[in-house]
Amino acid sequence: MKYRRANHSMVRVIEPGDDISYPASESPTPEAALLNIVIYGHKPDPNDPRKRGLPFQPESYRDFMLFPAHYAGAAAGIAALSLRQLPFPFLQTVFLWLVRLWTWLTGTVFPPFRPSGLYLKQPIFYQSNHLSIVASGAPVARPRYCKRYLDVELELGCVLGCELYNAASPEETLAAIGGFVVLNDFSARDVQWAEMRSGFGPQLCKSFASSISAEIVSADEVLPLLQVRSSSSRPPLSPTLLVLVISVLILEPKKKKALTGRVIINQKVVAECAVGPGDWQFTLGEALAHASQGTRLYPGELFGSGTLPGGAGIENMAFEVQVGDTVSLEIDGVGCVTNSIIAEEEG
């Protein structure tokens, strides 16, 4: 079931294969009951033009980083971004070329950018600003301190429909999900590296704006796509070129990528994303269970999956966003979030 906000009310989105239509409040299924708690118990402010199109008003916002490929790609991009300050701009291109060459020859991540430490032991997340989340269609102001690199991040967002506390299993947490949305975690890359090195995590680089789709989809529509094993069960990638070529040309095309999406800037697709079994460091259920340890979680709290691999420009410096651009992030079967970028003085 998929719903979206229209004229301050939630209406059902009828898709191919649907044979019934009724208001969300009249739907009898358990999934719809949780969805009702979210969309009717956490309504956005109808008087705020930037928020009134939200499917619900998040009560809090935590963002995970569940995809190792994004971790490695973003690390390479942030390192390359620092080279922009040098008098030889070609060094950035050479650096990224060498990183890609290493991966192509060895089948492994360039050593300095490999996930390590706590990332491999438990799901990591940061607490962001739920009050700066705006609706699809609302303008997003580029902060004045972001002079070099404004970026987007394509994520799957989930919202709780019931309380969680010290969850004993991933299955318990999945049963508490009220719905899924498309999430755009806007990022000011200029200041991110310095803030991360402070030891306190993201600050101004993340807190100025995020956005979510007008559509919200019930858990039963999306959870079948996420029933994947964590990467801890994957065999290590062989460093040999022969095995890498076989994997890429023969085995990789056969792997089903259940979750697909894309980044579109000014009606041009700049990135295609696909997530399948083995692409997660930890499953969403494992991540939510971890977040509930010692902390009582409530309906209306929003959680981001972390960026789908390829869903951010910083990954190997693939693209960036400018004032005047219109950015759309899509996840197939979930929805789309679109925002125009304006200068802060206009906001």
| Region 69-96 average pLDDT | 83
Determine the Cα–Cα distance for residues 233 and 310; give it in Å rounded to an integer.
Answer: 23
Is residue 89 pLDDT above 50, yes or no?
yes
| Region 279-293 average pLDDT | 97
| Region 219-224 average pLDDT | 92
Q: What is the CATH number of the domain that holds 242?
A: 3.90.850.10
* Residue 24, domain member (yes or no): no
Among 89-93, 282-286, 318-322, name the one with the lowest average pLDDT. Answer: 89-93
Number of structural domains, the chain? 1
* Residue 144, domain member (yes or no): yes
* Residue 15, domain member (yes or no): no
**Span 169-193, pLDDT tens digits:** 999 999 999 999 999 999 999 888 8
* Residue 246, domain member (yes or no): yes
* Residue 20, domain member (yes or no): no
* Residue 313, domain member (yes or no): yes
Per-position b or e across 248-266, b if 16+ CB within 10 A of its CB = eeeeeeeeeebbbbbbbbe
SS3 90: helix
* Residue 244, domain member (yes or no): yes
**Span 95-119, pLDDT tens digits:** 888 988 898 888 888 898 999 999 9
Is residue 164 pLDDT above 50, yes or no?
yes
* Residue 26, domain member (yes or no): no
Domain that holds residue 284: 2-8+33-346
- DSSP E strands, 81-209: 125-127, 133-135, 140-142, 150-151, 153-160, 177-184, 187-188
Among 20-29, 37-46, 184-193, 262-271, name the one with the lowest average pLDDT. Answer: 20-29
